[in-house]
Amino acid sequence: MASRFFSFFALFFGLGFASPLLITLANKEDIAFNPLWFSIVSLLLVLALSAISSLLAGRTRFARNLGIASLACAFVFALQGNVVHDLFYYGDFNGNLTDWRVYGWKFWAEWFGFLLAFPFFYWLLNRLKQIPVWLALVPVLSSVLLITPVLFNQEAHVALGLSDEVKPDVFEFSSTLNLVHLLPDGFQGDIAREVLDDHPELSARLEGFTLYRDHLGMYQGTAPSVSTIFTGRPFDFKAGNSVERTIDEMNLYAYPVNLQENGFRLDYVTLSTSHCVEGAASCITRPFNDMKARGYFRHKNQHYSYAVRQLADLTLFRHFPMYLKEQIYNDGNWFFADTTLDGSSPWPDPVLREWIDSMVVMGPQPRYKWYHYIGTHIPPRWDAECVFNRELERTRTQYYDQSLCVLKGIARFAEKLREHGIFDKTAIIISGDHGVNIEPDDSQGRKPNSGLHAGVIGAARPTLMIKPLRSREAFQISDLLTSLIDIAPTALDLVGLDNNYSGLSVLAIDPKLTRTRIFNRYTSAEFWTGESISNEAWHVDGTPRNMENWSFQDLTYKHLAPAGYAAVNFNSARNTSRGLSFNPATPDVESSWISGSEFVILVGTEQPQLTASIELELSLPDFMEATTQSFSVTVNHQNLDDNYSLDNNKEWSQITIPVPDGLLKQGNNQFVLKFSETAAPENSTDDWYAAGKLRSFRLVQ
């Protein structure tokens, strides 16, 4: 009887307690459960279900078979959720389209292995005359080992804003001085500019605002972007992501600290309390990682009942293979959480609307308002009239329409400030954290390599719009070269405060200034590990609209790169090269296209080599008309004196490149090869072009 009880307990423990608790602990600001009370209640439910199941089963042979089946399921789910699940990367859960079938045979092996595991464990357990209690506790122990490190590694800081209780003073604005910083997530600058060009009546409602069309973001994701927007400091990829360090840096460097020291009341509506500085008057967390915006007030079914549906989705996602994960995640339309619209906000900017409806002008104390909201985050969910529709296509047209919806909301907010007589006394910053990865409509010139694809270019073009105090000029568009690190000094300059940030206030940038700005694209799968993060750096000299102003600068890989690539393909070089075309469906091909006029590749060495050379095999494409291809080589940012060439004989050519003494270093060494000639197939319909094919690349002593 005891072994039967624990057979049921083993199944319910993982699915009903361990995994949901792990998910709750990892998402304390997203899931509206107190982890302590949740763990107590869920454990009691698991014990009750186990006891009831054991009693109902009785002592029949059917009961034995049921107990064995339950324990077999417990083993399968524990193996899948606690071991296999962590072998793959499943994306950011942010609405992006996810194709896990790129794993090829591994995708199907996981699915068939999962199916076969049930009868295998049942057969194995059925061979035992009696199931020992210790065996039934094995999957339980596996789950305990999974959650123990998380339990003992909880952040010391307590979340500030999970309560539904919102005090009326968050709707108060100052009669003398306000600074409002709006961050519509994923708000792409060229799309916002196109909307305002097409709708002069909307532009007229945004008098006093300037849109900076050549603004450059610094990262493709939210977390590092928000940190830089607040602190004016580039994100430290080598140190990795840490909530503790983020909180410390916010309290040291975030521009609202300076505002607070100068008498401002601080009110936040934010995705994470780590962005709120100590002493803030209010810090309301309203995450939207489920693609439904949140206002000050959680709607009727968006607290505990919605959290139950979220936990159900994430628990099933953890314990099922990718074949079923596709159905559970469904590109952001989660199986349980998104089955109804009840309780979701009908707009992408609910807090802005709540400010408009409930705005009160109070005394002279300066007020600061920060609102980070869904904006045009992937995927599009609202049309031009702000009507919610989860079936919208992920096209520029749909993001255009949602941008129109968002800009109308900002215009209504500006009109409300005028109505209350505080428009001139309010400075406003509208800063996207990144774009929506859509190809900008104003790009020109050739991209240097395929690493600079539409997603990178779109992500690098967030919106920046500024309205200074007392500004009543007609809406205008500026060509100033601005960057994400300029937002913090601009915020202080808008209210007359000095700063010592390295960035520049957009109010003081010389129109003739030339500057080199940086865009970093990082490896998303590594970001939340807390370890160093692989990334690449692009320099942009001048307007980002001209692709010829983009130059590849650095490729950082946190592991040691191979010393040689016998075959350059997806399996061997996807993490250690850029500018080479890889097809995950054919990961073991013998060569790869050089898609563009250059490629970058890393070569690792355990010890620095005094005398070495690089050997590579190249061939030119059949569609290239040039008879000779030449190229230059850069090693760790040092240009080699010699240029190299090969004839267009359609054969593989082996080339040896001597590396001067002192250029190679211990660890990863970066090689950049830039080619004189490129070509595209005659019937090519896109902007793909190639310099040749690369078969092998190796370091030789």
Quick one: pLDDT band at residue 149, thresholds 50, 70, 90? confident
For residue 141, give every residue at least 6 positions away whose Cβ sits within 8 Å of its Cβ, in sequence order, or none. Answer: none
Which pLDDT score, from 0 to 100, does residue 603 have? 96
Residue 518: burial class (beta carbons within 10 Å; 0-12, 13-18, 19+): middle
Per DSSP, what are the bridge partners of residue 368? 179, 266
Range scoring the smallest mean pLDDT among 267-281, 294-308, 581-595: 294-308
For 328-381, the DSSP string reads: HHGGG--TTTTS--TTS-SSS-HHHHHHHHH-EE--SS-EEEEEEE-TTPSSP-
Q: What's the mean per-residue pLDDT of the chain?
A: 90
Chain segment 599-653, per-residue pLDDT in tens? 999 999 988 766 789 999 999 988 888 888 999 999 999 999 889 988 887 789 9
For residue 486, give every residue at least 6 positions away whose Cβ sits within 8 Å of its Cβ, in sequence order, or none. Answer: 232, 503, 504, 505, 506, 509
Range scoring the smallest mean pLDDT among 175-184, 283-292, 399-408: 283-292
Which pLDDT score, from 0 to 100, does residue 293 have? 74
CATH 3.40.720.10, the chain: domain bounds: 168-294+348-523
Tell me which CATH homologous superfamily contains domain 168-294+348-523: Alkaline Phosphatase, subunit A (3.40.720.10)
Are 251 and 231 a contacting pair, CB within 8 Å? no
In the predicted structure, residue 332 carries a pLDDT above the cut 90: no
Residue 543: burial class (beta carbons within 10 Å; 0-12, 13-18, 19+): middle
What is the 3 state secondary structure string of 402-451? HHHHHHHHHHHHHHHHHHCCCCCCEEEEEECCCCCCCCCCCCECCCCECC
| Phi, psi torsion values for 639, nearest 5 degrees | -75, 130
- Residue 57 and residue 80: Cα distance in Å, rounded? 27
Chain segment 638-654, per-residue pLDDT in tens? 999 889 988 887 789 99
Which pLDDT score, from 0 to 100, does residue 131 have? 87
Which pLDDT score, from 0 to 100, does residue 619 have? 93
Of 528, 584, 521, 587, nearest in space to 556 by CA: 521
Chain segment 236-270, per-residue pLDDT in tens? 999 999 988 999 999 999 999 999 999 999 999 99
- In a 13 Å sphere around the CA of 696, the CA atoms on its Cβ side amount to 16
Quick one: pLDDT band at residue 156, thresholds 50, 70, 90? very low
Residue type, 405: C
In the predicted structure, residue 202 carries a pLDDT above the cut 70: yes
In the predicted structure, residue 686 carries a pLDDT above the cut 80: no
Of residues 68 and 288, more confidently modeled: 68
Percent of the chain residues past pLDDT 90, beyond the cut: 69
Helices 2-13, 35-57: inter-axial angle, 10-degree rounding: 140
In the predicted structure, residue 231 carries a pLDDT above the cut 80: yes
In the predicted structure, residue 185 carries a pLDDT above the cut 60: yes
Residue 470: burial class (beta carbons within 10 Å; 0-12, 13-18, 19+): exposed
Token duo for residue 613: 């050379």
In the predicted structure, residue 594 carries a pLDDT above the cut 70: yes
Quick one: pLDDT band at residue 321, thresholds 50, 70, 90? very high
Which pLDDT score, from 0 to 100, does residue 677 have? 92
Which pLDDT score, from 0 to 100, does residue 303 have? 66
Quick one: pLDDT band at residue 159, thresholds 50, 70, 90? very low
- Residue 644 and residue 605: Cα distance in Å, rounded? 24
Which pLDDT score, from 0 to 100, does residue 305 have? 77
Which pLDDT score, from 0 to 100, does residue 334 have? 85
Mean pLDDT of 316-327: 95
Quick one: pLDDT band at residue 292, thresholds 50, 70, 90? low
Chain segment 500-552, per-residue pLDDT in tens? 999 999 999 999 999 999 999 999 889 988 899 999 999 999 999 999 999 99
In the predicted structure, residue 155 carries a pLDDT above the cut 80: no
CATH architecture of structural domain 559-700: Sandwich (2.60)
In the predicted structure, residue 492 carries a pLDDT above the cut 50: yes
In the predicted structure, residue 82 carries a pLDDT above the cut 70: yes
Which pLDDT score, from 0 to 100, does residue 130 have? 86
Which pLDDT score, from 0 to 100, does residue 162 have? 39
Chain segment 353-362, per-residue pLDDT in tens? 999 999 999 9
CATH 2.60.120.260, the chain: domain bounds: 559-700
Quick one: pLDDT band at residue 343, thresholds 50, 70, 90? very low
Chain segment 47-78, per-residue pLDDT in tens? 999 999 888 877 777 888 999 999 999 999 99
What is the 3 state secondary structure string of 634-685? EECCEECCCCEEEECCCCCEEEEEEECCCCCCCEEEEEEEEECCCECCCCCC
Which pLDDT score, from 0 to 100, does residue 536 have? 97
In the predicted structure, residue 419 carries a pLDDT above the cut 70: yes
